[in-house]
Chains A and B, each alone.
Chain A
Amino acid sequence: MVTFRPNSVGKAIKRREDPRLIRGLGTYTDDVKLPGMTYAAFVRSDFPAGAIRSIDTTAAADHPGVVAAYTYADMDGQVGPSPVGAEMPGMGKADHPLLADGRVLHVGQPVAVVVAETPYAARDAAGLVEVDIEPREAVVDVEAAMAPDAPRVYEELDSNICIQVPVPNPEADKLFEQADQTLSMRLLNQRVAPFPMEGRAICAHWEEGPGKLTIWTSNQAPHFVKQQIAMCLRIPEIRIRAIAPEVGGGFGAKIPTYPEDPLLCWVSRELRRPVKWSETRTENLLGMTHGRGHVEKIDVAFQNDGRVLALKGQTISELGAWRSFYGPFIALSTHTMSCGCYDIRAVAWETFAVYTNTMATEAYRGAGRPEAAYIIERVMDEVAAATGLDPVAVRRRNFVDKDAFPHTTASGAVYDSGDYEKTLDRMIELVGYDDAREAQRQARDDGRLVGIGVAAFTEVCGIGPSGGTAPHQRMGTWESATVRVEPSGNVTVYTGVSPHGQGQETAFAQMASDAFGVGLDDVVVVHGDTDQVQHGVGTFGSRGIAVGGAALHMALTKVHAKATRIAAHHLDAPVDQIDYEDGEFTVSGTDRKLTFRQVAEMAHLWNVAVPGEEPGLEAVARFEPPGTTFPFGAHLCQVEVDPESGQIEIQRYVAVDDFGVVINPMLADGQRIGGVVQGIGQAMWEEVQYDDGGQLLSGTLMDYAVPRAKHFPRMVLDNTVTPTDVNPLGAKGIGELGTIGSTPCVVNAIVDALRPLGITNIDMPAKPERVWQAIQAAASAQ
């Protein structure tokens, strides 16, 4: 195995991606220009539920500059249905057409597509398509949708409940009878919009001559796109090239292949011309999958000393109008992660995933784990309040002991490694926790509403091995890497992960540079192109380093071993006599040596066959994770609430996380701060809102509040290092940790500020209006 000398790995190396991006020279999908380009615009349903009586495209088709206008009737039988993913035994499911086929299921569903010579003409003509819909009653509220007599999203199904998974536990029942105390909470994890700065964009190009389809798509998983389009268009995958060029953020919502992807490929094949589409921000808020959307009920059995014995929970997850790749599994993972970093003896749970006439929900930075962390971290604070203990003390009392790993939780998760006390201790030390509490007491004495919130959390990353959800999703959870060394000794890395801001071009170059003693500039990392990378999955689930990096480590190890054998042959020494350091192979105890670059040249150009070796210096590796990793952290937030306005000021945020071995701490910090801010966005401002009739109320940036720079103080970060043995790097994953820890941390701080008023919960988002109303209600109750 290659040992990385710390020349580069572990250091804050500037990104290789940045020189092009800071000059505006990156190529995002909408930047692609091809001869003969056409432009698409979609006509979308204005109704959340209804029957399509007629669609008239005549005026649109006659509009100057229009090339074509298509409805479902034009493509029926040729393409589709939509590549939706999740499959589970017993699930209530229906096909989802690429364009509405006689009925509409949610506001924003594509009904027709207009193609024109210019984007303006396409949009003008889309407005001329006449769609006559007979509306019917929509089902919007997820709990109402579960009622047996609720209007059904799919008339052909018996119920709106897509899956119902009860996990009863008699042990939990017994512990509830024995416990000193119990408490119940109803927690809402509201729908949020992933809101990547670049919305979805697609450029599809069918070339009739070679019979080849190329699609540029702003997507996190181009290999899925290729596979799904092959199924949808019924053409072999070898004729499809999917490219995710620069991708302007994804956060989970760009994992799925959307109906527009295969549809525009079909349009290009029909027209024999390239076609491009970039969604507007309103289309993005209407038609990009949303995240979260859980209603949770939790009962807790605990002792007077703060020890939590058992949980009984219920998750009701809004699937929206169709089942996305991960929707039902996200609902289930909340149960899996329900214990957090605590040694809880028994868990009973029931999970529902339910159709409603709203946009589908899908993975969003954390995907099931933030919901779980939110529940258990809110629970810990309420147990502290009920027992009169400090929230930190309650957490310590319940932590899984550091010597108890690997640890199997009562909900069935197998935690790889952890040392929760160490991380919490470091956070407490950084904060000066006792002083902060003393300052809070003084502020309260002065009548100020200051709150301190804590979250100690864990999550699951680097999902594997294949075989769990894989057969239903038609995917593995492994990752690939190819390392190709040129005769010059320069290195190309082909990775199966498709980053979109995380910085793997840099992190992977660091690894290759250290492995072979070549410069960072001598390494190129290729990703996001299915013609260049044979197979891949993606960064999601914080897999970039923990799975993609592990695959690269394997490939580097294979190449290094071959280079060592070649060096041994040319140095006329046995392989076990070859020492390697910093790009040089030396015969042990001598000054006879070859550089890595000399070996690379020998491998390619010298006509000296090494017995048993093929020419060349290249290796492919596929890493199948034997298990999952569980990074963790301890966060603290201090807020002050203005009782007159309900405005909340974030005064302090400290995060100490443990994500194992770190390749590039600067990139890790970026992931953490970004995640924390995104999680705080959910806690304080963000909410996708539909009215009772199913109309989207949060369809523009005037109505959907994302975090801005002046909302935040400077954050303080630190980390501890508890490696994992699940992968050869010892890295656990970093991408989602921030959103998972920060949301409950901030809500705990807000509730802590308001607790002297008798307030014990504030539902997210803790908008000033909502906080002010809670303060007024508490005042009138007293």
Chain B
Amino acid sequence: MPRSVPVTVTVNGSAHEREVEPRTLLVHFLREELDLTGVHIGCESTLCGACTVHLNGRAVKSCTVLAVQADGQEVTTIEGLAADANNLHPLQVGFWEKHGLQCGYCTPGMIMAAKQLLDDNPNPTEDEIREAIDGNICRCTGYQQIVDAVQHAAEAAGAA
């Protein structure tokens, strides 16, 4: 069998130690080893954004990060955004309120990409939102209601 290397990754606040093949992609580590199946695979080539997670607070496409690169680092996935159904992140609320999703497959990555935007720029314009999610493909919504969702989240966070 292929050789394995140990990695320890803090995911959604908990440290996880695993032996993985060196070539293991972070997205496979999260999905297969940690059962975090909210991280979706859409293209395996960094181009669709479905697998977007945060690595040390910055959005990355986990299909082109190796698990070993995340060794000793902190990862946040969609599952880590809300403690429970009653404590949704403003972006999750926005996507729900504004119909920012249909099939839902791009949604976790889209929310994590939008989170990066709002972390950097709490009051983005529509153009800035469209630019920020340009690396994330949605085939269902046509994006307009995603823009609305992000605006809703920005307004809610501003009001809070």
Once the chains bind, are A677 and B99 in contact (CB under 8 Å)?
no
Tell me the residues in window 49-66 of chain A with beta carbons closer than 8 Å to chain B beta carbons: 64-65
Known contacts A23-B82, A714-B144, A197 near B103 by CB under 8 Å: yes
* In the complex, chain B residues whose CB is within 8 Å of the CB of A14: 96-97, 99
Bitwise interface map of A from 670 to 704 toward B, beta carbon under 8 Å scored 1, else 0: 10011111100000000000000000000011100
Tell me the residues in window 29-82 of chain B with beta carbons closer than 8 Å to chain A beta carbons: 31-32, 35-45, 47-48, 50, 77-79, 81-82
Most chain B CB within 10 A, of A17, A196, A198, A669, is at: A198
Once the chains bind, are B44 and A197 in contact (CB under 8 Å)?
no
* In the complex, chain A residues whose CB is within 8 Å of the CB of B105: 28, 196-198, 246, 248-249
**Interface residue B9 (Cβ < 8 Å from any Cβ of A):** no
Bitwise interface map of A from 361 to 379 toward B, beta carbon under 8 Å scored 1, else 0: 0000000000000000000
* In the complex, chain B residues whose CB is within 8 Å of the CB of A67: none
* In the complex, chain B residues whose CB is within 8 Å of the CB of A676: 142
Once the chains bind, are B1 and A24 in contact (CB under 8 Å)?
no
Bitwise interface map of A from 62 to 91 toward B, beta carbon under 8 Å scored 1, else 0: 001100000000000000000000000000
* In the complex, chain B residues whose CB is within 8 Å of the CB of A673: 141-145
Nearest-neighbour CB distance to chain A for B66, whole angstroms, equals: 13
CA distance A723 to B137 in the complex (A): 35
CA distance A248 to B40 in the complex (A): 10
Once the chains bind, are B95 and A278 in contact (CB under 8 Å)?
no
Once the chains bind, are A195 and B102 in contact (CB under 8 Å)?
no
**Interface residue A706 (Cβ < 8 Å from any Cβ of B):** yes
**Interface residue B154 (Cβ < 8 Å from any Cβ of A):** no
CA distance A531 to B130 in the complex (A): 43
CA distance A454 to B131 in the complex (A): 28
CA distance A31 to B77 in the complex (A): 15
Once the chains bind, are B108 and A24 in contact (CB under 8 Å)?
yes
**Interface residue B7 (Cβ < 8 Å from any Cβ of A):** no
Determine which of A15, A24, A198, A707 lies in contact with B79 in the assembled complex, contact meaning CB atoms within 8 Å.
Answer: A24
**Interface residue B140 (Cβ < 8 Å from any Cβ of A):** yes
Nearest-neighbour CB distance to chain A for B114, whole angstroms, equals: 11
Once the chains bind, are A278 and B92 in contact (CB under 8 Å)?
no
**How many B residues touch A, CB cutoff 8 Å?**
62
Nearest-neighbour CB distance to chain B for A666, whole angstroms, equals: 5
Once the chains bind, are B140 and A501 in contact (CB under 8 Å)?
yes
Once the chains bind, are A710 and B131 in contact (CB under 8 Å)?
yes
Nearest-neighbour CB distance to chain B for A125, whole angstroms, equals: 12
* In the complex, chain B residues whose CB is within 8 Å of the CB of A702: 45, 47
Determine which of A23, A30, A280, A670 lies in contact with B102 in the assembled complex, contact meaning CB atoms within 8 Å.
Answer: A670
* In the complex, chain B residues whose CB is within 8 Å of the CB of A26: 38, 104
CA distance A715 to B141 in the complex (A): 12
Once the chains bind, are A501 and B104 in contact (CB under 8 Å)?
yes
Bitwise interface map of A from 32 to 50 toward B, beta carbon under 8 Å scored 1, else 0: 0100000000000000000
* In the complex, chain A residues whose CB is within 8 Å of the CB of B24: 120
Residue of A nearest to B78 (CB): A24
Once the chains bind, are B103 and A500 in contact (CB under 8 Å)?
yes
Known contacts A246-B104, A709-B133, A24 near B99 by CB under 8 Å: no
**Interface residue B11 (Cβ < 8 Å from any Cβ of A):** no
Determine which of B23, B39, B103, B131 lies in contact with A198 in the assembled complex, contact meaning CB atoms within 8 Å.
Answer: B103
Once the chains bind, are A64 and B103 in contact (CB under 8 Å)?
no
Once the chains bind, are B45 and A700 in contact (CB under 8 Å)?
yes
CA distance A249 to B137 in the complex (A): 12
**Interface residue A458 (Cβ < 8 Å from any Cβ of B):** no
Bitwise interface map of B from 122 to 146 toward A, beta carbon under 8 Å scored 1, else 0: 0000110111011011111111111
* In the complex, chain B residues whose CB is within 8 Å of the CB of A251: 139
* In the complex, chain A residues whose CB is within 8 Å of the CB of B129: 709
CA distance A400 to B72 in the complex (A): 69
Once the chains bind, are B139 and A249 in contact (CB under 8 Å)?
yes
**Interface residue A21 (Cβ < 8 Å from any Cβ of B):** yes
Most chain A CB within 10 A, of B129, B136, B144, is at: B144
**Interface residue B101 (Cβ < 8 Å from any Cβ of A):** yes
Once the chains bind, are B102 and A502 in contact (CB under 8 Å)?
yes
* In the complex, chain A residues whose CB is within 8 Å of the CB of B147: 709, 714
**How many A residues touch B, CB cutoff 8 Å?**
58
Known contacts A17-B104, A23-B78, A24-B108, A674 near B140 by CB under 8 Å: yes
Once the chains bind, are A670 and B79 in contact (CB under 8 Å)?
no
CA distance A281 to B50 in the complex (A): 12
Determine which of A278, A503, A701 lies in contact with B43 in the assembled complex, contact meaning CB atoms within 8 Å.
Answer: A701
CA distance A358 to B70 in the complex (A): 41
Known contacts A196-B139, A197-B50, A709-B133, A670 near B99 by CB under 8 Å: yes
Residue of A nearest to B138 (CB): A197
Once the chains bind, are B1 and A249 in contact (CB under 8 Å)?
no
**Interface residue A781 (Cβ < 8 Å from any Cβ of B):** no
Determine which of A21, A197, A677, A678 lies in contact with B42 in the assembled complex, contact meaning CB atoms within 8 Å.
Answer: A197
Residue of A nearest to B127 (CB): A710
Residue of B nearest to A667 (CB): B99
**Interface residue B155 (Cβ < 8 Å from any Cβ of A):** no
* In the complex, chain B residues whose CB is within 8 Å of the CB of A707: 142-143
**Interface residue A712 (Cβ < 8 Å from any Cβ of B):** yes
CA distance A501 to B107 in the complex (A): 12
**Interface residue A168 (Cβ < 8 Å from any Cβ of B):** no
Nearest-neighbour CB distance to chain A for B32, whole angstroms, equals: 8
* In the complex, chain A residues whose CB is within 8 Å of the CB of B78: 22-24
* In the complex, chain B residues whose CB is within 8 Å of the CB of A247: 103
Determine which of B2, B35, B111, B140 lies in contact with A22 in the assembled complex, contact meaning CB atoms within 8 Å.
Answer: B111
Nearest-neighbour CB distance to chain A for B136, whole angstroms, equals: 8
Once the chains bind, are B77 and A24 in contact (CB under 8 Å)?
yes
Residue of B nearest to A20 (CB): B104
Known contacts A24-B77, A26-B104, A501-B103, A281 near B43 by CB under 8 Å: yes
Nearest-neighbour CB distance to chain B for A217, whole angstroms, equals: 15
CA distance A195 to B131 in the complex (A): 22
Known contacts A22-B101, A23-B92, A197-B50, A708 near B134 by CB under 8 Å: yes
Known contacts A248-B40, A674-B140, A701 near B47 by CB under 8 Å: yes
**Interface residue B85 (Cβ < 8 Å from any Cβ of A):** yes
CA distance A201 to B146 in the complex (A): 26
Once the chains bind, are B36 and A24 in contact (CB under 8 Å)?
yes
CA distance A483 to B93 in the complex (A): 31
CA distance A64 to B21 in the complex (A): 14
Nearest-neighbour CB distance to chain B for A369, whole angstroms, equals: 19
Most chain A CB within 10 A, of B1, B35, B48, B104, is at: B104
**Interface residue A208 (Cβ < 8 Å from any Cβ of B):** no
CA distance A669 to B105 in the complex (A): 19
Once the chains bind, are B96 and A15 in contact (CB under 8 Å)?
yes
* In the complex, chain A residues whose CB is within 8 Å of the CB of B143: 673, 677, 707-709, 712
**Interface residue B88 (Cβ < 8 Å from any Cβ of A):** yes
CA distance A500 to B141 in the complex (A): 13
CA distance A706 to B42 in the complex (A): 13
**Interface residue A388 (Cβ < 8 Å from any Cβ of B):** no
Known contacts A22-B88, A702-B45, A197 near B137 by CB under 8 Å: yes
Determine which of B2, B23, B145 lies in contact with A669 in the assembled complex, contact meaning CB atoms within 8 Å.
Answer: B145
* In the complex, chain B residues whose CB is within 8 Å of the CB of A198: 40, 42, 103, 105
CA distance A353 to B108 in the complex (A): 41
CA distance A65 to B21 in the complex (A): 14
Nearest-neighbour CB distance to chain A for B129, whole angstroms, equals: 8
**Interface residue B26 (Cβ < 8 Å from any Cβ of A):** no
* In the complex, chain A residues whose CB is within 8 Å of the CB of B127: 710
- 15 more A-B contacts (CB under 8 A) besides A64-B1, A248-B40, A709-B138? A14-B99, A18-B96, A18-B101, A22-B88, A24-B79, A197-B137, A281-B42, A501-B103, A674-B140, A678-B142, A708-B137, A709-B129, A709-B131, A710-B131, A712-B144
Q: Across the A-B interface, give the 4 residue pairs with the lowest CB-CB distance, nearest first.
A: A24-B38, A248-B105, A501-B103, A21-B104
Query: 19 interchain pairs (CB within 8 A)?
Result: A18-B96, A18-B101, A24-B36, A24-B38, A197-B50, A197-B137, A246-B104, A248-B103, A249-B103, A249-B140, A501-B103, A501-B104, A700-B45, A709-B131, A710-B130, A712-B142, A714-B144, A715-B142, A715-B144
